[in-house]
Each structure stands twice: as structure tokens, then as C-alpha cells.
Amino acid sequence: MKAMREPIPQAPMRKIMKPAMVTKRRKLRRQRMRPAIGSLYDIMHNHAGTGLFARPLFWTDLHTKLLNCRFVQLPPHLTPIPTPPSSQRPRKVSRTIVSIGRELDTLMATDKPIMKANILLKYQAISAVLSTLYPECFSAPSYPGLGILFGSRYHQGVVGNPLLWHRMDPDANLTSFDSTTTLTGSQPVSREASYSRASVDVVTDSPPILAYVSRRHIDYQRRNCMLVTKSSNGEPNEPVLRLQAHRTKKVTPKNANEDPYYFGIMLAIAQKCVYTDLSAATNFKPRDVKVRLLVASEADNAFLVYTGIVPGALLSMFHEPDTAPTCNSEVTIEYARLPIWPVLGLKERLGKALGSDLVGHYDDSLIDTFRETVTRAPQASSKKREREALSEVTNGTFCEDYRDQSNNPPGPKKRCVGVGLVR
């Protein structure tokens, strides 16, 4: 009998733990939110690839067209101007007129390069001019960086640094260490005094009432929007320079008076008026906001005043870009040109352009000449004897009382009474 083979011992079977079945979670697809027809998102979707989401400095005529903004030119304010004098004798000019003329020369100068120091000089010049012409309306301005709120995101400083004036508080204490607060309209205001004036009488938290920009500065920013470095051998980078020139040409408006950048500034100022804290987008209260913009045209030696009402519907569109406006969101910006020369009559011409609700009403027939009214103090009666003319003294006698001797008879001789004598 064959020997039976012993079974080969086998290792004990280990219990294999099968991994638990993991149920894959179904990915929740986010529901695609379609923006409302007519909203900002809808406008950007319909014009994809055109670069609409850009800084206001690079806005084109397409932006004003899609946002329903139009410019309306008003007749220029050419009057009043002083009549020429009838006589050949030159007219005496007050010191205030001379001071304003110097500030206007600084403001319209084009011979100096655009640098930060020269820009500040121009800001100081326009501040001195407005504070001299309208001391009760315009005080020390500020130039904070303006931004635009789009949805829940605030884009700080994308609008630039226009000069802003805020409304003055009539109940504030006007006492200041600077003498500018007590000057009247007929007294000249120095540039440093008006620009560094204490802000005790200015409500800095109040909405801006006027903004100022320089057209020459805007053109400079567009031409130098890109920092072009030189090549390795030190020569200019011609391809990049040509690209920059082409880009500048595309964003330069055909009509310089109807620059879309002005609309961007007015929109940013209007947003500043309807938010308690613009950077946090809190307490949004949509309403129609009236905005004024003063532009200096150095090439024409003129001012351009832009006035427009930014409707609350447009502000709501930027607050909720996916929502269509419920009412009319059209913006109409009216602008008028006025020459700066002659200085006499500039207060009235600029006042008519700014509006009577801001600076008051001015009559064309009455021109403020800024004459200093000097009132002489009454002379106190002197106890000293008046000196006689030299001719009267030389022609007369050396006697002290020659006039009394010739006209009046001699009186009785007075007796000298001694005081303090003991007899």
C-alpha cells in the first residue's frame, strides 16, 4: 500500500477586510445665473472681447453709448466784459485782479514739463482763484484718489486724483490761525494761505460740490500709460513705443470736449454721495445726484464747466450688475465754455456757468472790480500849535505878538502873582 502523502500544511487563512463602499457624492452643479437683459453683466456679455472692463481713463465713446450718456453743448458765456475806458488815462487795477491774473498764468502755463511739483502748483493756483472769487463757497480742497464700486468690489484709485471741493458748514467756527478766513472778496488771497487753510469750516464728510481736472494732465497720462524700458543696448524699444502710441490713439476721444473720462469722474463722485462707506458698500441709498466738473483747457485759455445729473437707476446698476434698471438710467451732461480773459468779469461768467444754486446769482451789468475801499481814520485834534508857513514868518516881524499889536489895542498889564511866596 502506497504511503499516503501527508497534506502540506497551509498557512491559516487571514480574514481579508474589504474596504467599505464609498458612495460618491454627486457634484452639485451650480445653477447658472443668467443676468437680466439690460444689466451691466448682460452688456459686457454681448460685447465680449471689446475691453469694456477698464479704467475710466481708457473709456471710449462705446462706453458712453452703452451707458446711455450724451453730452450737450451750451452757448459759451462770453459776457460780461469791461467796456474800454473813454479816456486815454490808464485805469487803476486793484491788487486782487493782479493776484488772480498771476494765478491764471500759472494755471494755463504749458512751457513747464508735467511733474508732480508743477501739478501741485496748478492745484494751488485754481484753489487760490476760486477762494478769491467765491470765498463763501469754496475753501481748501482735497485730492483723494477716487474709485468706482462695481458689485461688491471697490476698485480704489482707478479714477485718478481730481481736485475736490466740499460744502462748507455755515454753523462751523470760522476762527482759524490763517487770515484767509476773515478776508472779503475784495482782498487778495495768497496761494499758500488759501491752499493750506484750516479745515474747521469745511465738512469733509459731506458730498463734493465741485471737481477739477486739467486737460493737459489727462493727455499726459494717456500718452504715458505704459512704462517702456529701453533695450539691452540702451536704445529705445521702438515696437513697444509704437504699440503704446497705437493704444493711446484708440482711447483718445474724437471730440476733446466730450471725453468719456469726464463721465467716469462724475459717476465716481455720484457714488461717493450715496454710500456712507463706499469701500464697504454700506447704506446704499439710490437717488439722483447733481455733479459739477471744472476743466481747464490750456490750449484755449478757457474753462469748461460740466453739469450733469447721475440718476439713481444707473447707480443701482453698478450696485447690482446683474439687475436691470427699473427706470430711466440716461445721463445728460451739459457743458459750456468761458474764456478766462479778461479777469474783470470772470467772477460773473464763471458764476453763471456754475449755477445760481451753488454760487448765487450774478448780473451782467454789474462787474465786481475788487476795489479796496480805504477809509481814513478821523484825525485827532492835536494840542500842539500849528506851524506857520515859512513865507509868513519871514515876511512878518520878529515880535512874538505882532498880529495882536497891529489889530488890538494894548490891554492892561497883568500882574505876576507869585506862588508859594511868603511875605
Q: What is the pLDDT of residues 305-323, one digit of tens each?
A: 999 999 999 999 999 999 9
Q: State mean pLDDT over 88-98.
A: 78
Out of 78-92, 194-208, 306-320, least confident range: 194-208
Q: State mean pLDDT over 215-243.
A: 82
Distance CA 59, CA 51 (A): 9
Is pLDDT above 80 for 90? Answer: no
Instruction: Give the H/E segment covering residue 314.
Output: helix 312-319
Alpha helices in 212-286 (DSSP H): 215-223, 238-251, 260-274
Out of 27-36, 40-49, 133-142, 388-397, least confident range: 388-397
Sketch the domain layout of the chain as residue ranges.
Answer: 40-83+93-169+201-354
Distance CA 154, CA 146 (A): 10
**What phi, psi does 392 have (nearest 5°)?**
-70, -35
Distance CA 127, CA 283 (A): 32
Contact 267, 319 (CB under 8 A): no
The reported pLDDT for the residue numbered 399 is 46
The reported pLDDT for the residue numbered 111 is 81
Contact 338, 295 (CB under 8 A): no
Angle at CA of residue 183, ends 177 and 187, nearest 5°: 135
Confidence of residue 244 (pLDDT cuts 50, 70, 90): confident
Average pLDDT of the chain, as a whole number: 78
Count the residues in the chain.
423
**Percent of the chain at pLDDT above 70?**
70
